[in-house]
Amino acid sequence: MGEPLVAEPTTDQTPLSTNSVEYQSADSHRASESFGVENIYRALILFCDKYSLDKKQVALGLFLSFLLIIFSIGTVVAWNRYSPIIQEFIIKEKIEKARSKNNEKIKRRMNRFKKFLNKQRIKNHFNNSGEGVRLSSGQPSSSQPTAVSGAAQGGQIDRVAAADIAAQAALKRMQKNELQQDASKRRIQMIAKRELEEERRQLEGLQISDQANSSTSSQPAEVEEKEFEHSALISGVYYTSELLGEDHVRSKADLLEDIKNFLTEQISDSEDDNDKVIAAVLMIYSLNTTAVKELAIDTIYTVVNNILSQPTIPKFRTIRLSNKTYNEKIAAAVGGRKFMEAIGFVEKSNGEEQCLIFSKPNDDHLPEPLDALRNGQGVPIKVARNLELFMLKEGQKPKAPALSADFYNLSAAEIKAEQKNKTLQVGQS
């Protein structure tokens, strides 16, 4: 009869069905999120109910635990990144502290040596100045007339100097009124002198050339080498030292011998043990070769270190004078025995043998002399600049004076010492 009616979708139904699908997906997403948070919250409630805990305290504990974990992770990351920089900074700071401490020790040590040298320099100055004069004494002694007469003449000298100054001022006032002819006269005299000097030099040059021609014609194979008139006066190189004074000029061997005698006298006459130690150290460093010096220093350091480390053992406080090691390493060095005596060793007889025995009741004073020995220095020696002027004639060729070989040649010990000094300077800079 008729076809059945079928409902066709209208255009308005399609967007409605699409919106419904979107709403369903959004609701399911919210449901999943709420499900995760709700599950955590439910687990927290169940945990609190099971163990009868306060929910706020448990939540606060979980929050703090979370912060602690984050802080720990950040600390580990920061340490892995910045630990090399921090370690480098700490190492540099330690090096600077050690260097400053070492520099202070070196300054204190150098001050001890400088103080000793200045003390001896002042003492030499006063010894060379003669006897003093007591102003409070009523009658001067026989050695005082010169000083007293010089002091009495001081007023006369001042009056004479004042009179000279007044006379010079009057002469200048008188010369102001003179004409300027004096200047022209002086100019003419200078020109005449210059011309006479040139003529004299020409004559001397002709005489020298004539002598040279005659000598070459008679002996063509030999060439005469002219020298200074003072060449014979320069026979060697001379030195001076700060210890004995600038006016004490000797050859190097003689100067070292004088230094040895002077330091030996200071050790025997001084009452201060520190001065004796410094004088002995100067002898060891100034009067020995490098090998002998280092061997003596190492041996003395071992002996003193044994006394400091084991003070109760008597054998370390006694050294037999017949001991081979002592004779070859300590006694062989100039100043070695002097140093041992300065720190407290005394020669005594121990049965049939002579020995050096440490006689001090305690050893508290030993570290300072040991440090001075380890880081000592020699007496400063420098070349004496004895400057003199000599006339050289026109056309005369000077010959360099022959100097001793030790002025130019350096021994192996001196080269090693110079290299060691350069290494120390580079390390300190």
State residue 185 phi and psi, 5-degree precision: -65, -45
Give the CA distances from residue 46 to residues 31, 35, 64, 342, in Å, rounded to whole numbers and listed in that order: 21, 16, 21, 88
Q: Residue 147 burial by CB count (10 A; 0-12/13-18/19+): exposed, middle or buried?
A: middle
Q: Using CA atoms, how far apart are residues 425 and 164, in angstroms rounded to an integer? A: 56
Q: What is the pLDDT of residue 298?
A: 92
Longest dimension (CA), the chain: 177
Of the candidates 265, 267, 288, the residue with the CA atom closest to the CA atom of residue 278: 267
Environment class of 138 (CB within 10 Å of its CB; exposed 0-12, middle 13-18, buried 19+): exposed
Contact 357, 345 (CB under 8 A): yes
3-state secondary structure the chain: CCCCCCCCCCCCHHHHHHHHHHHHHHHHHHHHHHHHHHHHHHHHHHHHHHHCCCHHHHHHHHHHHHHHHHHHHHHHHHHHHHHHHHHHHHHHHHHHHHHHHHHHHHHHHHHHHHHHHHHHHHHHHHHHCCCCCCCCCCCCCCCCHHHHHHHHCHHHHHHHHHHHHHHHHHHHHHHCCCCCHHHHHHHHHHHHHHHHHHHHHHHHHHHHHHHHHHHHHHCCCCCCCCCCCCHHHCCCCEEEECCCEEEEEEEHHHHHHHHHHHHHHHHHHCCCHHHHHHHHHHHHHHCCCHHHHHHHHHHHHHHHHHHHHCCCCHHHHEEECCCHHHHHHHCCCCCHHHHHHHCCEEEEEECCEEEEEECCCCCCCCHHHHHHHHCCCCCCEEECCCCCCCCCCCCCCCCCCCCCHHHCCCCHHHHHHHHHHHHHHHHHC
> Which of 274, 299, 303, 272 minimizes the C-alpha distance to 288?
299
Q: Note the pLDDT of residue 130.
A: 59
Integer Cα distance of 59 and 65 in angstroms: 10
pTM above 0.85, yes or no: no
User: Residue 312: its pLDDT value, please?
Assistant: 82
Beta carbons of 250 and 239 less than 8 angstroms apart:
yes
Rg (CA), the chain: 49
Contact 140/133 with Cβ under 8 angstroms? yes
Instruction: Please name the amino acid found at residue 20.
Output: S
pLDDT at residue 295, as a whole number? 92
Residue 207 has a pLDDT of: 58
> Looking at residue 297, what is its pLDDT?
92
Q: To 5 degrees, how large is the angle CA 233–CA 236–CA 242?
A: 110
pLDDT tens, residue order, the chain (429 aa): 445 544 454 444 444 444 444 444 445 555 455 556 678 778 878 888 877 788 788 888 888 988 999 999 988 988 888 888 888 888 878 777 777 776 676 666 666 666 776 776 666 666 666 565 566 655 544 444 444 444 444 445 455 556 667 666 666 666 655 545 555 666 676 776 777 777 767 766 665 555 555 554 444 444 444 444 444 445 567 888 888 877 888 888 888 899 899 888 888 887 788 888 888 999 999 899 888 999 999 999 999 888 888 888 888 888 888 889 899 999 999 999 999 988 889 888 877 788 888 888 888 888 888 888 888 888 888 888 776 666 777 777 766 666 666 666 676 777 888 888 888 877 776
Angle 154-175/145-152 helices, nearest 10 degrees? 40
